Amino acid sequence: MAYRVGVDIGGSFTDFALFDEETKSLKSLKVFSRPDEPGSEILNGIKAAELRYGITPEQIGYFTHGTTVGINTVIQRKGLKLALFTTAGFSDVLEIARLKIPDMYNLLSRRPAPLISRDMVWGIAGRLNFDGSEREPLDETGLVDAVRQARERGAEGIVLSFLHAYRSADHEKRAEEIVAAHAPGLPVFRSSGTWPIIREYERSITAVIGGYVQPRVSHYLASLQQALKSAGVSVEPHLTKSNGGIMTAEQGKRECVQMILSGTAAGVIGAAYVADVAGIEKCMSLDIGGTSADVAIIVDGQPQYGVGEQIGDFQIFIPSVSVASIGEGGGSIAWVDSQKVLRVGPESAGSRPGPACYGRGGTRATITDAFVVLNLIGHGDLGYNSVTVDRQKAIDAVRELADTLGRTVEATAEAIIDIAVSGMYTDVSALVSRFGIDPREFSLLAFGGAGPMAACHLAREIHSKEVVIPPTPGVLSALGGLIADLKNDFIKTVYTDLEPSVMPELLEEFDRLRTAAEKWLLDDQGHGGQYRLTYSAEMRYRGQSFEIDTVFDPDILKSDTGDKLADAFHAEHARVYGHCDEDAAIQIISLRLIIAGATKKPDFPKYPLGDAAVLPDRQVEVYLAGQWKAAALYQRSGLKPGNRLNGPAIIAQSDCTTVVLSGFSATVDEFNNIRISEEVAS
């Protein structure tokens, strides 16, 4: 018997999804995260899996892991002290950035300090032309002197980002050799080796972030590998990537920039799979954990992808699942400001001390405590019996705020939830405008430890089509790691006009990308199964500032004219912007190839719909809309496909609690998803 294990480390809990390859059954569990001892939660979970389910480490035949080590390093600014070597005259690339302030409506808004301070940046003489040819040779003497100065100022690593390195890496490679000769052992990070894209700032900041987090990520992964071996898990761990795929831990040590958004991407992949199986064409995933709330758009079972995702104060320009942070998580702390206005977040209670109701030393009220005060959660085991909810501690924590505000405890708790949801509503509205979608056409698929308890509150505000709660919502991000394919992106910047004469060159470059992609999958990842290739080109009309990634059938490359490639771009431009210009000249900026090796997927059996009647376990008193009222309490394990129930209701299960508000009704579909819809007044 072999198990495939997926792990996702969150701010409060670490989630485990355990898939039995023989019986096709899925088990799950949660343990507390240990930010004080990163990685120990995985060993605790492996021990818990053996105690709870009898799954021994030797039975684990596949292991995937989503981690927030990289992004937390950037947010906490605890990375490597780096030096940056740029082309002379471009030393202010990080300071200037894109001249955008964080809040365009706030005249006092300031851009964050760069990860590399200006005194650690050196301009190196030497210049390449836009086509990669050498205009001025690299000043090797000046480079050696810069290395000496950088070491004297305490540099722990050097980032190389020279002008036009996306066309030719010669100067960066030569500089890397010189650094290695004069500073052996000093890590060097080339922008051309990290992600070779045009635009100096975008390429530079991506390389800087990769270098900044590399030591901590590499150390963490090495410790993880050793810990798993010590625990008896013999398989090489895989890591979820920002692009929604997975890679080996060994690759993660070298290319840690690819796993910056590891954890958030895994959740979206899991949500996309659930939506696809259930036949949900338009879906918004809502992932609320202990520290944040994130949303992504999923259409026809496929998440949206992009570049420029936000990592703390900075953007990173690698292919990523497009996820937007829309608010606080269940552990976010409520507080009263100097004007006696109630606020929520962004500070989080995390795993330790956690919400007051967890009884782990927390004394400040959180969103979770507010739900406990209203008696909406705490009616069953929480976190697989790792938490015993202490309602009195939650009441005491909220009372401190209530006394300051001159309100009742219940009214204050309800206000905390309202404030959190209003923040989510504002951010979702911005996301809806950006993608040009109508939320009334989209299902809201809620997961994470706190997603199901707040989903109806948000759905009521944005008027989403329905709320969908999967069978194991609390560990869906961990499940996403099991579903993800081995996946990697390859890019080649060509920066040329689309003309018949360039078609042979494009075909040749794509052949090189395909060779590199297949080598990565077959040799580096050891994948011998099926795989798929996705061809695309980043194109724009001549004179435009930004390009559109256009997916196309590779057979059109065999055309001598390029007309079919142009037609594909015109169609994509019309889809995105509502218009196109078929007479305008087109530029091809970059060629892209994605390879995805298929992995085994869990089966979600389809059950026949049974009787609609279901009786609650009991009635409980809850506080909603300013008054106490009776709500039906159900155990998720007792609900069967075809069951129907009306709000107000509470559905308890080991990994989370689902709250069905008054005016909503719920049904269980043939895949054991709970589908909750707001009743329309006649």
For residue 418, give the H/E element and its range.
helix 409-435
Separation CA 293–CA 35 (nearest Å) = 19
Separation CA 462–CA 627 (nearest Å) = 24
Task: Flag the least confident range among 142-151, 155-164, 671-680.
Answer: 671-680
The DSSP string of 169-238 is -HHHHHHHHHHHHHSTT--EEEHHHH---SSHHHHHHHHHHHHHHHHHHHHHHHHHHHHHHHHT--SPPE
Task: Pick 533 or 266 by higher pLDDT.
Answer: 533
Dihedral sign (CA 203, 207, 208, 210): positive
Per-residue pLDDT of 498-544, as tens digits, reads: 999 999 999 999 999 999 999 999 988 888 888 999 999 999 999 99
The single residue listed with the structure tokens 């410790």 is 223
Which pLDDT does position 385 carry in this prediction? 67
For residues 124-145, give the mean pLDDT: 94
Task: Pick 675 or 77 by higher pLDDT.
Answer: 675
For residues 50-69, give the mean pLDDT: 87
Task: Pick 103 or 680 by higher pLDDT.
Answer: 103
For residues 606-630, give the mean pLDDT: 90
Task: Flag the least confident range among 113-117, 280-284, 346-350, 508-512.
Answer: 346-350
Cβ neighbourhood burial of 461 (10 Å; 0-12, 13-18, 19+):
middle
Phi, psi (deg, nearest 5) at residue 487: -145, 140
Q: Other C-beta atoms within 10 Å of 145: how many?
A: 14
Separation CA 434–CA 559 (nearest Å) = 36
The single residue listed with the structure tokens 């389910």 is 53
Reported confidence tier of residue 682, pLDDT bands at 50, 70, 90: very low
Which pLDDT does position 577 carry in this prediction? 87
For residues 160-185, give the mean pLDDT: 95
Max mean pLDDT among 231-235, 602-606, 662-666 falls in 662-666
Which pLDDT does position 314 carry in this prediction? 87
Max mean pLDDT among 230-239, 402-411, 647-656 falls in 402-411
For residues 560-566, give the mean pLDDT: 88
Reported confidence tier of residue 680, pLDDT bands at 50, 70, 90: low
Which pLDDT does position 264 carry in this prediction? 80
Which pLDDT does position 453 carry in this prediction? 93
Length of the chain, please? 682
**Contact indicator for 484, 269 with CB cutoff of 8 Å:** yes
Cβ neighbourhood burial of 215 (10 Å; 0-12, 13-18, 19+):
middle
Percent residues over pLDDT 90 in the chain: 52
For residues 285-308, give the mean pLDDT: 86
For residues 41-45, give the mean pLDDT: 85
Is 412's pLDDT higher than 90?
Answer: yes
To the nearest whole number, what is the mean pLDDT of the chain?
A: 89
Inter-residue long-range contacts of 524-531, CB under 8 Å, 24+ positions, other chains counted? 524/248, 524/251, 525/247, 525/248, 525/251, 525/486, 525/597, 527/486, 527/597, 529/597, 529/598, 529/599, 530/597, 530/598, 531/486, 531/595, 531/596, 531/597, 531/598
Is 267's pLDDT higher than 70?
Answer: yes
Which pLDDT does position 68 carry in this prediction? 75
Reported confidence tier of residue 36, pLDDT bands at 50, 70, 90: low
Per-residue pLDDT of 593-609, as tens digits, reads: 999 998 877 777 888 88
List Cβ neighbours of 64 (8 Å cut-off, separation of 6 or more): 4, 5, 6, 7, 237, 238, 239, 240, 246, 481, 482, 484
Which pLDDT does position 189 carry in this prediction? 95
Is 19's pLDDT higher than 70?
Answer: yes
Which domains does the chain show, CATH number per domain? 81-186 (no CATH), 486-597 (3.30.1490), 618-678 (no CATH)
Separation CA 598–CA 487 (nearest Å) = 9
Task: Flag the least confident range among 9-13, 16-20, 104-108, 476-480.
Answer: 9-13
For residue 336, give the H/E element and its range.
strand 332-336
For residues 29-48, give the mean pLDDT: 79
